[in-house]
Amino acid sequence: MSTSDPAPLLSPRKAARGLRRDTLPAMTMAAPAALGLLAFVVVPFGLAVWLSLHNVRLDSPTPPGWFGVEQYRRILFDPNFRGEFYRGLLNNLVFAAVVVPVQTALALALAVLLNRPLRGMAFFRTFFFMPVVFPMALVAVVWKLIYARDDLGMLNAFLDTASFGLLGPYDWLGNESTALLSIIIMSIWQGVGLQMVIILAGLQGIPGDLYEAAALDRAGRWRQFVHITLPGLRNTLIFVVMVTTILSFRLFDQVYVMTQGGPQEATTTVMYQAVTTAFDANNVGRASAITVLFFVIVLVVTLVQRRLLREEREVA
C-alpha cells in the first residue's frame, strides 16, 4: 500500500465498541459537574416552583396549602401587587442597560492599556483587580461612607473643597434621582476588574504577527485596534457581555446595604423584593413565585442575547 493511500476506515462494529469503551470514563468525569447542577440548580429550582404553588408563610402554624397559580396572577396582574414587581424589574433593566456597556468599555480600555511589556504592569493589573476580591457587602459599606450626606462624606467633602464651598452637602443615596446612579457607579468600579482580566487574556491570545504586518502597512494604532484587536476579541467580548448581563440582574447586596430599596423604591430590585417578601413579610410562597418569574425573565434575556450575538459572529 502506498503512503498516499487514505487510512482504512474502522468498521461500524469496531467504532461502536470504541464509543462504548469511552462512555464510562466520560460519564465519570462529567458526574461531579452533573451532581453539582442537580444539587444546586435543579433541586432548588424545583423546590421554588413547588413553594410558589402553595401558600407558605413563616409566621403561620398551619401546613402549606395548595394555591395554584394565584401567586403568579397577583404578581403580574393584581393592581395591589404588580406595581412593586414591575418597578423592581424596571430598575433591574436600567441597571443592566447602563452597567453592561459602560463596564465592558472600561474593561476593554484598561486591558488595552495594561497589555504592554512595561515594568510594573503586574502591579497595576493587581491594583485594578483588587476590588473584585473584596466582598460586595464590604465594598457597599465603604461606598456608603463615601456617599454620606453630611460633611463627613468623602464625596461631599471633596466637592465642598473643590468648589470653595459653593456646592453644599448632597444626599446621594437619599435622593430618588441619584440613588440608583450612585449604586451603578459603585458596581462598575467593583466589577470592572473581572472583565478586564478576561479581556486581557483574550488580548494575549492575538498573534503579534498581525500587528507587525499592520505596522509594515503603515496602519496606525486606531486602525490596528479596529481591524485586529476588536475582531480578535469578538468571542471574548461576547462572553464578557453575557456574563456581565447575568451578574447585573443579580443586584441585591448593594441595595440591601446602601439604600434598603429606597428612596420611594428608586433602587428596589426583584431580588430585593424576593428576599424582603420571604423574611420581612414571611410570605415564602409569593417570594418563590417572584424568584421563578425572575429566573424565567433572565433566562429569556440570556437566550435572546445569545441568539443575536451568535448571528453576528461567524467563524470562517
pLDDT tens for each residue of 168-180 = 788 999 999 999 9
Q: Residue 173, exposed/middle/buried by CB under 10 A (0-12, 13-18, 19+)? A: buried
Are residues 281 and 136 both part of a single domain? yes
- Scored b (16 or more CB within 10 A) or e, 18-56 reads eeeeeeeeeeeeeeeeeeeeeeeeeeeeeebeebbbbbb
In a domain, 61, yes or no: no
The model's pLDDT over 29-70, given as tens digits with 9 standing for 90+, comes to: 889 999 999 999 899 999 999 999 999 998 888 888 899 999
> Range with the lowest mean pLDDT among 5-9, 95-99, 141-145, 278-282?
5-9
CATH of the domain at 157: 1.10.3720.10
pLDDT at 281 over 60: yes
Are residues 134 and 209 both part of a single domain? yes
CB 183 within 8 A of CB 146: no
Return the percentage of the chain with pLDDT > 90, whole number.
65
Place of cell 452637602: 169
In a domain, 10, yes or no: yes
Residue 173's identity, in one-letter code, is L
Q: What is the reported pLDDT for 169?
A: 84
pLDDT at 311 over 70: no
Distance from first CA to last CA of the chain, Å, rounded? 36
Are residues 154 and 29 both part of a single domain? no
In a domain, 96, yes or no: yes
pLDDT at 313 over 60: no
Are residues 123 and 186 both part of a single domain? yes
Are residues 80 and 159 both part of a single domain? yes
Are residues 133 and 165 both part of a single domain? yes
The model's pLDDT over 100-123, given as tens digits with 9 standing for 90+, comes to: 999 999 999 999 999 887 788 888
Given CA atoms 46, 50, 53, 58 in this order, what sign does their dihedral have?
A: negative
The model's pLDDT over 3-15, given as tens digits with 9 standing for 90+, comes to: 555 545 556 665 5
Q: What is the reported pLDDT for 44?
A: 92
In a domain, 114, yes or no: yes
Residue 304's identity, in one-letter code, is V
Are residues 47 and 92 both part of a single domain? no
Rounded mean pLDDT of the chain?
Answer: 88
Are residues 22 and 122 both part of a single domain? no
Domain range enclosing 244 = 72-312
CB 135 within 8 A of CB 112: no
Q: What is the DSSP letter of 283?
A: B
Are residues 141 and 7 both part of a single domain? no
Are residues 76 and 45 both part of a single domain? no
Are residues 42 and 154 both part of a single domain? no
pLDDT bucket at 151, cuts 50 / 70 / 90:
confident
In a domain, 252, yes or no: yes
pLDDT bucket at 19, cuts 50 / 70 / 90:
low
C-alpha cell at 218: 503603515
Q: Give residues with Cβ within 8 angstroms of 188, minimum separation 6.
A: 99, 102, 103, 106
When divided into structural domains, the chain yields a total of 2
In a domain, 62, yes or no: no
In a domain, 65, yes or no: no
Are residues 150 and 4 both part of a single domain? no
Give the rounded distance of the alpha carbon of 36 from its chain centre. Answer: 21
The model's pLDDT over 287-299, given as tens digits with 9 standing for 90+, comes to: 999 999 999 999 9
